[in-house]
Amino acid sequence: MKRITMILLIPLLFNTFAAAQESLKSDDTALEKGIALVNEEKYEEALPFINEAISADEENAELYRLLGQILEMLDETEEAIEAWTLCLTLTEDEELEKEAKLHLEALEE
């Protein structure tokens, strides 16, 4: 089951990166560095940069979506639940709301 989740999650990560980049200032180097590390599958190393981007824009649901997905890749279930919950709380996008709810349901099983 976990392997299937990982296979399905990887393409979503790349779509999330694009959405997160579009929703932030173009000079957000922390996010760019974090995304570059994720593209190299260096998820643990990407976390500080993603957290820095979140610190600069704490109301951005897309960043919490990205964080939640990375934490899922690292099997950090409790932290992923926190990230997805914040994403759900902050989003006004119906599709992102559905996605967050699906992830939360799967993580809480």
Percent of the chain at pLDDT exceeding 70: 75
pTM: 0.78
pLDDT tier for residue 95 given thresholds of 50, 70 and 90:
very high
**Is 56 in contact with 28 (CB distance < 8 Å)?**
yes
Biggest CA-to-CA distance, the chain:
39
Q: Give the CATH number of the domain where residue 10 resides.
A: 1.25.40.10
For the chain, the domain total comes to: 1
